[in-house]
Amino acid sequence: MIQFDEINSNNASKLLRVNTPKSVFELYSSSYIITEEQKAFYSSNGFVVLRDVVDNEQLNFIRKIMEAAVFIRKGKDERELKDKTPYEQSFLQCGFLCWDFPAVKEFVFAKRFAGIARDLMSANGARLWHDQALFKEAGGRHTDVHQDSSYWPIAEPLKTTTMWLALNDVPEEKGCLYFFPDSHNKQREYVDIFKNPHKPEVIKDIQPVYTPLKAGDATFHSGLTYHGAGSNRTKEMREAMTIIYIADGNKFNANDPRNATHKSCDGLKHNDIINTRYTPRLI
């Protein structure tokens, strides 16, 4: 069973019902200013590292909320890491948490993060695609190289971006992300990290850039950027919360049957503008 320092079966639900502090609400509604240099770096490389997206004071509350939500989703799984599939050994993956836990929804709907996504995508507005916690257990294996947009039925994957927020310090040895610069401009390839993980030929000559983060730092990366994560060689859980955004006006692509049943689609037909109850415009 997964364990956290302060989260257990007795208090997980209670923690998720605690009133969100005023300072956290103020953070959610505040702006994070992106410089022109950061925008240019993201446009050229397909990713960017942003420091102090969340302050330590607010992060302590946010981290407990996410730990409690992950515990409720995964806490009854008593298997040891060695007994899980290779994919499950890569991370504890919990998607669509915001629709089950109001405290998580407040975080996911925050205009602070959506504003960053909008600006990096050079969009008029940003919609939620979905959220997911990506925790990597102590001893967890690496996350295989892939493009996120391979799993999304979205017509313009360049107009998507993912925030990956470090809830605790994530040095290289704990399994930080690494990105292949400019790979969002290379040929697309569906890498099935469930059944056929491999490094695509198109990035074989690109040197990956590792992005160790302090708690509260974040990366943003395009849905077309090839990336992965190292193994967790520490005795601590690697904790990260992600939010995936799409540019307002992006359309649904039903041509790939692997992705056409995605929850965020919610009855959409091919070439429909994505605007469902699961994909609200956040800013």
Give the pLDDT confidence score for residue 2 in this predicted structure.
Answer: 80
Give the pLDDT confidence score for residue 243 in this predicted structure.
Answer: 98
Count how many domains the chain has.
1
Give the pLDDT confidence score for residue 266 in this predicted structure.
Answer: 81
- Is position 175 within any domain? yes
Strands annotated E in 68-176? 92-95, 126-135, 143-146, 160-166
- Is position 279 within any domain? no
Work out the angle between the directed axes of helices 22-29 and 111-121 (0-180°, nearest 10): 20
Give the pLDDT confidence score for residue 192 in this predicted structure.
Answer: 79
pTM: 0.95
Q: Please give the chain's pLDDT, 283 residues, in tens.
A: 687 888 888 899 999 999 999 999 999 999 999 999 999 999 999 999 999 999 988 999 999 999 999 999 998 898 999 999 999 999 999 999 999 999 999 999 999 999 999 999 999 999 999 999 999 999 999 999 999 998 899 999 999 999 999 999 999 999 999 999 999 998 888 887 778 888 898 999 999 999 999 999 999 999 999 999 999 999 999 999 999 999 999 999 988 766 656 788 888 999 999 999 999 999 9
Full domain range(s) for residue 132 = 12-265
User: Are 242 and 227 contacting, i.e. CB atoms less than 8 angstroms apart?
Assistant: no
Give the pLDDT confidence score for residue 4 in this predicted structure.
Answer: 85
Q: In the block, which residue shows the tokens 């990290």?
A: 193
Give the pLDDT confidence score for residue 10 in this predicted structure.
Answer: 85
- Is position 225 within any domain? yes
- Is position 277 within any domain? no
Give the pLDDT confidence score for residue 19 in this predicted structure.
Answer: 94
The DSSP secondary-structure symbol of 150 reads G
- Is position 2 within any domain? no
> Could you tell me the CA-to-CA distances from 126 to 2, 97, 113, 179, 249 in Å, in that order?
34, 19, 10, 23, 9
d(Cα 175, Cα 177) in Å, to the nearest integer?
A: 7
- Is position 6 within any domain? no
- Is position 4 within any domain? no
Strand order in the sheet with 209-210: 143-146, 227-229, 177-179, 209-210
**Whats the size of the chain, residue-wise?**
283
CATH code of 46's domain: 2.60.120.620
User: Are 237 and 167 contacting, i.e. CB atoms less than 8 angstroms apart?
Assistant: no
- Is position 169 within any domain? yes
Give the pLDDT confidence score for residue 260 in this predicted structure.
Answer: 58
